């Protein structure tokens, strides 16, 4: 039992505690905004072109709004469930839900997680599941401005 507590204490000591500024709404929106152009570019001229774009939360809406206006996209508040398609024309909301989240903020570097998802029911199934893509961008502050430095990871599911 004593070894168990020692391991827990050691693990707790290794955990990274995010800074208080990483949770401030103004700071996070400022850091998230550069990622918006990169994400919206993915949906320009692709098979999802013309698809409704829903936002997962108000922080995402604030971060995406300027880039969406420039790109000609209209952002909508996400309902409970957004579908990838509606082949039976049942009137369900069709599009993608975009969400941005500040994962880490340290000095002039940040990691921003993004996700673009919708619901679908696989053939021979009755329960819908979420599909889409997601990733993490590294964002850095250069000359007082936040900029996307690189894509760290990209998943498609």
Q: Per the domain annotation, does 4 fall within a domain?
A: no
Cβ distance 131 to 113 under 8 Å?
A: no
Of 137, 17, 114, residue with least CA distance to 56 = 114
Q: Per the domain annotation, does 12 fall within a domain?
A: no
Cβ distance 97 to 56 under 8 Å?
A: yes
pLDDT value of residue 48: 52
Q: Per the domain annotation, does 5 fall within a domain?
A: no
Question: Residue 57 belongs to what domain range?
Answer: 19-156
pLDDT value of residue 15: 34
Q: Per the domain annotation, does 108 fall within a domain?
A: yes
Whole-model pTM: value is 0.76
Question: Can you tell me the distance from the alpha carbon of 106 to that of 48, in angstroms, rounded to the nearest whole number?
Answer: 34
pLDDT tens for the 157 residues of the chain, in order: 433 333 323 333 333 334 334 344 446 899 999 999 899 888 775 545 457 899 999 999 999 999 999 988 899 999 999 999 888 888 999 999 999 999 999 999 999 999 999 999 888 888 989 999 999 999 999 999 999 999 999 998 7
Give the total number of structural domains in the chain.
Answer: 1
Q: Please state at what angle helix 58-71 crosses helix 25-43, rounded to 10 degrees.
A: 40
Q: In this structure, are strands 109-120 and 129-142 parallel, antiparallel, or unpaired?
A: antiparallel
pLDDT value of residue 24: 42
Q: Which residues contact 16 (CB under 8 A, 6 or more apart)?
A: 104
Q: Per the domain annotation, does 128 fall within a domain?
A: yes
pLDDT value of residue 77: 96
Of 149, 146, 110, 115, residue with least CA distance to 33 = 146
């Amino acid at each position: 039992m004593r070894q168990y507590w020692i391991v827990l204490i050691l693990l707790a000591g290794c955990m990274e505690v995010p800074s208080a500024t990483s949770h401030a709404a103004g700071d996070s929106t400022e850091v998230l905004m550069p990622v918006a152009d990169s994400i919206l570019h993915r949906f320009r001229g692709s098979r999802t072109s013309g698809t409704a774009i829903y936002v997962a939360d108000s922080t995402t809406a604030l971060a995406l709004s300027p880039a969406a206006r420039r790109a000609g996209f209209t952002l909508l508040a996400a309902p409970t469930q957004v579908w990838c398609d509606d082949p039976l024309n049942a009137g369900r909301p069709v599009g993608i839900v975009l969400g941005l989240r500040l994962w880490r903020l340290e000095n002039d570097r940040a990691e921003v997680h993004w996700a673009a998802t919708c619901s679908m029911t696989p053939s021979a199934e009755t329960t819908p599941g979420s599909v889409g893509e997601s990733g993490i961008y590294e964002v850095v502050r250069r000359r007082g401005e936040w900029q996307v430095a690189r894509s760290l990871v990209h998943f498609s599911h």
